[in-house]
């Protein structure tokens, strides 16, 4: 694992661009900028036939999530098996990330903005979803008292292609599991998960325990990403 702790926004973008220049199946595209003028990027990883969607960085203070994704993008070209084409939005809230805040610079929670959004970050994400996804994965951190990994499963959309029970069981070999492993509570209005349900895209939200030291959280989220491939 190359990136072991948070790097600042400018370094993050430089790394992304460097990785794409280094690899012919990692495409990085600038799709527009945040209210404070920070660019937002979409990354396409070419691999298989089916398309999956991965997002992270809705909440700027949940820093292990975008760092795990950056490691994954860096490692993509080393993978011998690439079963999917992956569309990634690794850092949806760059202003929050830079300032260490959950919300964006307008004090808005971007993970409640997927219906009738007022925020440019989510408008850009929605404008750049252009293909059929067989599943979506959203990366977060539980900043309250939490003893291990858990995920939240879309309560309505289903799939035969991913089995949350076996994903969690693979992760449990290496990491403690909290909250029963899989939470299937009601969708919050305007959340990414709700958006996926409404569009019949099966989704899982991955959560690492925010109290752990950063390196272990990044490792856990990266490991959870590999557990879906
Ligand atoms: Zn979050």
pLDDT score, position 12: 98
Question: CA 46 → CA 20, 52, 115, 204, 221, distances in Å?
Answer: 12, 11, 29, 21, 21
Q: 42: closest CA among 123, 108, 129? A: 129
- What pLDDT sits at residue 130? 76
Task: Give the separation between CA 113 and CA 195, rounded to whole angstroms.
Answer: 9
Work out the burial of residue 82: count CB atoms within 10 Å of its CB; fewer than 13 is exposed, 13-18 middle, 19 or more buried: middle
The residue ranges of every structural domain in the chain are 9-226
The Å distance, Cα 23 to ligand 1 centre, comes to 30
What's the pLDDT score for residue 83?
Answer: 87
| Residues in a beta bridge with 139 | 56, 206
Between CA 79 and CA 58 the distance in angstroms is 27
Q: Give the rounded distance of the alpha carbon of 147 from its chain centre.
A: 21
pLDDT score recorded for residue 43: 97
Report, at the CATH architecture level, how domain 9-226 is classified.
3-Layer(aba) Sandwich (3.40)
List, for residues 97-116, the tens digit of each pLDDT value: 999 999 999 999 999 999 99
Helix, strand or coil, per DSSP, at residue 123: helix
Give residue 79 CA to ligand 1 midpoint distance, Å.
28
Q: Which residues neighbour ligand 1 (ion) by CB within 5 Å?
A: 59, 62, 140
Please give the distance, rounded to the nearest whole angstrom, from the Cα atom of residue 22 to the centre of ligand 1. 31
Helix H or strand E encompassing 70: helix 64-75
Burial class (CB in 10 A: 0-12, 13-18, 19+), 144: exposed
Q: Kindly list the catalytic residues.
A: 207
**What pLDDT does residue 49 have?**
83
Spatial distance between the Cα atoms of 148 and 101, rounded to a whole number of angstroms: 23
Reported pTM: 0.97
pLDDT at residue number 77:
84
pLDDT in tens, 33-53: 999 999 999 999 988 889 999
* Alpha-carbon gap, residue 119 to 148, rounded angstroms: 32
Task: Give residue 65 CA to ligand 1 midpoint distance, Å.
Answer: 9
What is the Å distance from ligand 1's center to 111 Cα? 8
**Which stretches in the chain have pLDDT values below 70?**
none
């Amino acid at each position: 694992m190359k990136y072991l702790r948070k790097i600042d926004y400018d370094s993050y973008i430089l790394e992304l661009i460097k990785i794409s220049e280094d690899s012919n199946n990692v495409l990085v595209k600038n799709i527009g900028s945040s209210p404070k003028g920070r660019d937002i990027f979409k990354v396409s990883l070419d691999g298989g036939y089916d398309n999956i969607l991965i997002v992270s960085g809705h909440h700027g203070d949940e820093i292990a999530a975008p760092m795990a994704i950056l490691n994954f993008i860096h490692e993509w070209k080393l993978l011998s098996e690439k079963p999917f084409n992956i569309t990634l939005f690794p850092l949806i809230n760059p202003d929050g990330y830079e300032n260490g805040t959950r919300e964006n610079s307008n004090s808005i929670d971007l993970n409640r903005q997927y219906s009738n959004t007022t925020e440019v970050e989510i408008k850009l994400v929605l404008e750049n979803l252009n293909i059929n996804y067989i599943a979506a994965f959203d990366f977060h951190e539980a900043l309250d008292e939490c003893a291990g990994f858990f995920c939240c499963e879309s309560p309505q959309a289903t799939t035969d292609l991913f089995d949350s029970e076996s994903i969690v069981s693979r992760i449990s070999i290496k990491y403690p599991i909290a909250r029963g492993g899989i939470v299937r509570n009601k969708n919050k209005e305007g959340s990414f998960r709700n958006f996926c349900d409404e569009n019949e895209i099966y989704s899982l939200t991955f959560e690492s325990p925010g109290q752990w030291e950063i390196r272990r959280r990044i490792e856990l989220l990266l490991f959870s990403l590999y557990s879906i491939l």
